[in-house]
Amino acid sequence: MSTPKTESSTEPSTKSTADRIIEVAGLCKDFDGKRVVDDIGFTVLRGQTVALLGANGAGKTTTIAMLLGLLLPTAGSIHVLGEDMVRHRHRVLGRINFSSPYVDLPRRLTVAQNLLFFARLYGVPKPKARLAELAGQLDLETLLHQRIGQLSAGQKTRASLAKALVNQPELLLLDEPTASLDPDTADWVRRYLEVYQRRTGAAILLASHNMAEVERLAALVLMMRRGRIVDRGTPAELIRRYGRRDLEEVFLDIARETGAAAPDTRTLEDPAAVSAPRQGTAAR
């Protein structure tokens, strides 16, 4: 369970290019002249879970959309699995996947039809065997012939997760993976993600408002405010640095600007700083 967190101390500069699943530098996005993502940079390593944290409108979803190629950046670079996502995203889209509560699976198709469709779209060999495998792992056997529109929120989340894993992605991007789930189902999803990552060595980037989830899953937390990464570190480092009891209190400090996190000026030119704790910026 703790494999991803043990990598938090690994500095990106010591990792080979092949281990750098995401490399973002100087990333900016403007909408109608307003900057919503402002000069951010970070690296996600193979087998690592990184969380984007921030209040609504902080720029998390916009960042994920740019990483997926759904949105073109105004400036900066994004490399995923070594490929430039602005120019050559189709070279790697088959090796990544994502899930978001804001994007549905076709509601009139059954779970099995959806998974077979996406398996074929992603070029998965033996789609039916993969479907059976996922159904077993995600406890979907009894739901396979139900339409997505007939499922409960928790069942839909499991179906969406199955879609996101259908191609055994090396990079999984998750936007609020446990939103609207009951604690039991949410816990089940988190456990599954941990198992999947341990088994495959996949990197996971998630945006979440659930601090307990982030504390449990993330090796590195990127705190965003008004489009900027204002602080970063392991959950334990951030809690210690801000002198708080948990990540939720750190989040409130940063979101309400009661914490003393200075604007992040680090870039990938100083990659060692990416995962190194910032010193002397704690509020208390």
How many residues bind to other proteins according to rule CB under 8 A? 40
Q: 12, 43 in Cβ contact below 8 A?
A: yes
Q: Which of 121, 129, 262, 272 binds other proteins (CB under 8 A)?
A: 121
DSSP character at residue 206: E
> Furthest-apart CA pair in the chain: how many Å?
56
Q: Are strands 20-31 and 171-175 parallel, antiparallel or unpaired?
A: unpaired
Q: Interface residues for other proteins in 30-89 (CB under 8 A)?
A: 31, 61-62, 65, 68-72
Residue closer to other proteins (CB basis): 150 or 258:
150
Residue (66 or 255) nearer to other proteins, CB: 66
| Residue 112: CB minimum distance to other proteins, A | 10
CB 241 within 8 A of CB 277: yes
What is the 3-class SS of 2-52, one letter each residue? CHHHHHHHCCHHHCCHHHEEEEEEEEEEEECCEEEEEEEEEEEECCCEEEE
Residues 200-259 that bind other proteins (CB under 8 A): none
User: Binding other proteins by CB under 8 A: which of 75, 103, 129, 195?
Assistant: 103
Considering the rule CB under 8 A, would residue 128 count as an interface residue with other proteins?
A: no
Q: Which is nearer to other proteins, 20 or 156 (CB)?
A: 156
Task: Considering the complex, state which of residue 121 and residue 262 has its C-beta at the smaller distance from other proteins.
Answer: 121
* From candidates 35, 88, 147, 198, binder to other proteins by CB under 8 A: 147
| Distance in angstroms (rounded) separating the CA atoms of residues 149 and 27 | 37
Question: Pattern 155-184, binding to other proteins, x per CB under 8 A?
Answer: --------x---xx----------------
Look at residues 274, 280, 284, 268 and name the one whose alpha carbon lies nearest to residue 234: 274
Instruction: Specify the DSSP element, H or E, that contains 60.
Output: helix 60-68
- Residue ranges binding other proteins (CB under 8 A): 31, 61-62, 65, 68-72, 90, 93-98, 100, 102-110, 113, 116-118, 120-125, 147, 163, 167-168
